[in-house]
Amino acid sequence: MAKSGVYTAKKKDGTVYYRASITYKRKHISLGSYLSEAEAYAAYREADDILRKGRYDIWDCNDYKTKMHSLPLDKFVILLNLREHGLYFKTPIYLYPGYFEYYLSSDTVLLFDRDDLFFYASHKIMIRGGRLFYCDYGAQYGILSRYGLKSYSVPGRDFRFANGNANDYRYANIQVINRYMGVLCISVEGHTRYQVLIHVVGNYQVGIYEDEDTAAIAYNKAADILMGNGISKRYIKNYIPGLSSAEYKDRYAMTTVSPKLYAVR
């Protein structure tokens, strides 16, 4: 006799596996694929416990990996959010007033503003080598790009978390320090200045500038000089928003860089 919520399926090679699903408030929800009927039915029973019997709450996710659960964590969170807030998302999002949590694991929970809700409801966050990214139209993008930061930005150097929580990606918590490649914000005799370094074999100081945009242009100019001298390294240029092509050209011509760069071969 077939068990509730469990369906038999076959792979292309003829291997039998089992799919579990549940219908809640007229919505048909897939619960995943399993190797055995017992596993699929256990997933269905746990989904039924969450949605219809009101068992579990979001705090159960904190010790999820230390307890026996049949559903994967992402589906567990998705069903809890559906029950509590009436919204079904395909990603492990749980809503709070003004913000939401995104569960990468029971140990890693990211915080985002509600402004990002529908973006992350349709974009899965992944992690590789400590880098958080998502895929869009076949390309990978670091989540830092949504704050105007480059994928190579380093916490503490290029940006900081205002409240010290490195999992809190709400906009008010991300303080941008350095927006541009090769540009470091420093203090010179109590004044904010921008130091530009460019790497060949070691780091060369291009100069120190009073404003960030000029420093970014100086880096671009230094890169052009080095590549013009035969340096084969491919430098990523800075894009300075708000400058027209003519304005950029004028500022580029007026920006000075260390004369030592002309001798680098």
Mean pLDDT of successive 10-residue stretches along the chain, which has 265 residues: 86 94 95 95 97 95 89 97 97 98 96 97 93 90 89 87 97 92 92 95 93 96 94 89 94 96 87
End of a domain among 33, 53, 73?
Answer: 53
Asked if residue 135 and residue 243 are part of one domain, the reply reads no
Domain that holds residue 9: 1-53
Q: How far apart are CA 248 and CA 235, in angstroms?
A: 18
Asked if residue 166 and residue 107 are part of one domain, the reply reads yes
End of a domain among 32, 53, 74?
Answer: 53
End of a domain among 160, 176, 192?
Answer: 176
Q: What pLDDT, on a 0 to 100 scale, did the predictor assign at position 2?
A: 66
Q: What pLDDT, on a 0 to 100 scale, did the predictor assign at position 129?
A: 85
Q: What pLDDT, on a 0 to 100 scale, did the predictor assign at position 228?
A: 92
Asked if residue 22 and residue 37 are part of one domain, the reply reads yes
Q: What pLDDT, on a 0 to 100 scale, did the predictor assign at position 1?
A: 56
Contact 262/225 with Cβ under 8 angstroms?
yes
Asked if residue 83 and residue 5 are part of one domain, the reply reads no
Q: How far apart are CA 8 and CA 109, in angstroms?
A: 34
The set of residues, in sequence order, having a beta carbon less than 8 Å from that of 21 and lying 6+ positions away, is 5, 7, 28, 29, 30, 31, 44
Asked if residue 161 and residue 98 are part of one domain, the reply reads yes
For residue 61, the Cα-to-chain-centroid distance in whole angstroms is 21
Asked if residue 28 and residue 2 are part of one domain, the reply reads yes
Q: How far apart are CA 250 and CA 248, in angstroms?
A: 5
Tokens of 190: 């109590």
Asked if residue 102 and residue 44 are part of one domain, the reply reads no
SS3 content of the chain, % helix, strand, coil (to 5): 30, 30, 40
Closest alpha carbon to 100 in 51, 170, 171, 148: 170
- This prediction has a pTM of 0.81
Asked if residue 249 and residue 139 are part of one domain, the reply reads no
Q: What pLDDT, on a 0 to 100 scale, did the predictor assign at position 152?
A: 77
Asked if residue 207 and residue 100 are part of one domain, the reply reads no
User: Nearest 5°: phi and psi at 242?
Assistant: 90, -10
Asked if residue 161 and residue 128 are part of one domain, the reply reads yes
Q: Tally the domains of the chain.
A: 3
Q: How far is CA 173 from CA 34, 73, 93, 108, 157, in A?
A: 40, 27, 19, 17, 15
Asked if residue 65 and residue 45 are part of one domain, the reply reads no
CA atoms within 13 A on the CB side of 138: 0
Asked if residue 133 and residue 192 are part of one domain, the reply reads no
